[in-house]
Amino acid sequence: MLMGLNQYNELVYAQHAKIDDLYRCPECLSELIIKKGKHTTAHFAHKSSSLCIRNRYKRESIDHLSSKHDIYKSLNGLIQVDMEYYLSEIDQIPDILINKKIVIEFQFSPINLDLLISRTEGFKSLNLQVIWIGKNAHYHDGMLYLTIFQAALINHEDRTFITYNPTTKCLIRYKDVQVIDQHKFLANKEQIVWRDLLEITNIREIPSLFLNDCEYYQYIRKCRKNRSVLEPTLSLLYQSGLIHKERLDIIGIIVPEQIYILTHCITWQSYVFFEIKNGTFSFERCLEFIKFRTFYNNSYSRECVLKKAIHSYLKIIQVKFISRAKISK
Ligand SMILES: [Zn+2]
């Protein structure tokens, strides 16, 4: 932790703590020791192992401590910044609390997604907005590669994903995030400063995209390798008469709502296409068929997302059918 109480009951920042003074934990009031070193951000630790909430709440790595230190140093004095402020109503300690309104949480190592969601819900119940910051991600040629946990830190409302690297001091905001595959995302990268986190990001409308041939065939190859009854894509494509011919442009459309959908666009569109062609389409069964992504802010409506996704998809293929009919006339 970075804050301790001195003998006058004042909160002291670890960096300013004097080695010979006595400091106590703001929560359990037990004695603290100061840890300072060349390669570590000055911080406090309980002298004897304790059951204090601060120890139970999260394990703080050196990267975590130094990230908290960096944001605090940059914003303190400009706006109201509270570090490690214990919110007794929900028994949570956000890393940083800004203007008693915005919580900043660094989450560099994966935690259970249910825990991530429940912590977010806790903050929301106090009307606090939370910004989760992840560890640097691999980004190349406009493509962002994320683990399922990192992807859960995406803000699906404004389609941003934020990372911080305490070694290089690089704070990055990925914008206009859209999904290509389970772990592959399209995004625009920009370097920002801490203050930028407080601005509201303009939400741009995301267009529907057409999966390119390379991605399309790569996925089909993956399905072929994975010859399992649980992989329905190939059989759906066969049954719809879509596999033998050259690729048709009615499968493999990335609709704006794809960000919420874990099932590959080729798979769910083969399903929707097949069921509609057969006259057996049912929204409820479709809802069961499709797997959705888990986000920290997980209270979005699956029904609503799926309705919109199918609507976006059908609108596009309708246009394609009409233009094809015109050409063949
Ligand atoms: Zn304590």
Q: Look at residue 232 and tell me whether its pLDDT is greater than 90.
A: no
Instruction: Give dist(CA 216, CA 206) in Å, integer.
Output: 21
- Dist. CA 153 → ligand 1 center (Å): 29
pLDDT for the residue 32: 95
DSSP character string of 147-160: -HHHHHTSBTTTTB
Percent of the chain with pLDDT over 90: 75
More confident residue, 280 or 242: 280
What are the phi and psi torsion angles at 302 (to 5°)? -60, -40
Average pLDDT of span 265-290 = 94
Instruction: Give dist(CA 28, CA 41) in Å, integer.
Output: 23
Q: Look at residue 303 and tell me whether its pLDDT is greater than 60.
A: yes
- Dist. CA 27 → ligand 1 center (Å): 5
Q: What is the tens place of the pLDDT at every residue in 96-146?
A: 999 999 999 999 999 999 999 999 999 999 999 999 999 999 999 999 999
Q: How confident is the model at residue 204 (pLDDT cuts 50, 70, 90)?
A: confident
Tokens of 78: 């400009």
- Dist. CA 47 → ligand 1 center (Å): 10
Q: How confident is the model at residue 311 (pLDDT cuts 50, 70, 90)?
A: very high
Q: Look at residue 287 and tell me whether its pLDDT is greater than 80.
A: yes
- Dist. CA 104 → ligand 1 center (Å): 21
- Beta-strand ranges (E) seen in the chain are 3-5, 11-13, 23-24, 31-37, 40-46, 81-83, 96-98, 102-106, 129-134, 138-140, 143-145, 161-165, 170-181, 184-192, 209-210, 253-254
- Dist. CA 58 → ligand 1 center (Å): 13
Instruction: Give dist(CA 17, CA 268) in Å, integer.
Output: 58
- Dist. CA 297 → ligand 1 center (Å): 30
Q: Look at residue 150 and tell me whether its pLDDT is greater than 70.
A: yes
What are the phi and psi torsion angles at 244 (to 5°)? -75, -35
Q: Look at residue 310 and tell me whether its pLDDT is greater than 70.
A: yes
Q: Which residues pair with 155 in a beta bridge?
A: 160
Q: How confident is the model at residue 60 (pLDDT cuts 50, 70, 90)?
A: confident
- Dist. CA 51 → ligand 1 center (Å): 7
- Dist. CA 85 → ligand 1 center (Å): 13
Q: What is the tens place of the pLDDT at every residue in 19-39?
A: 889 999 998 999 999 998 888
Which residues are near ligand 1, the ion (C-beta closer than 5 Å)?
Answer: 25, 27-28, 52, 54
pTM for the whole structure: 0.89
Nearest CA among 252, 250, 255, 262 for reference residue 308: 255
Q: Which residues pair with 132 in a beta bridge?
A: 105
Residue 36: HSE in the Cβ half-sphere, 13 Å Cα cutoff: 8
Question: What's the mean pLDDT when you consider all of the chain?
Answer: 91
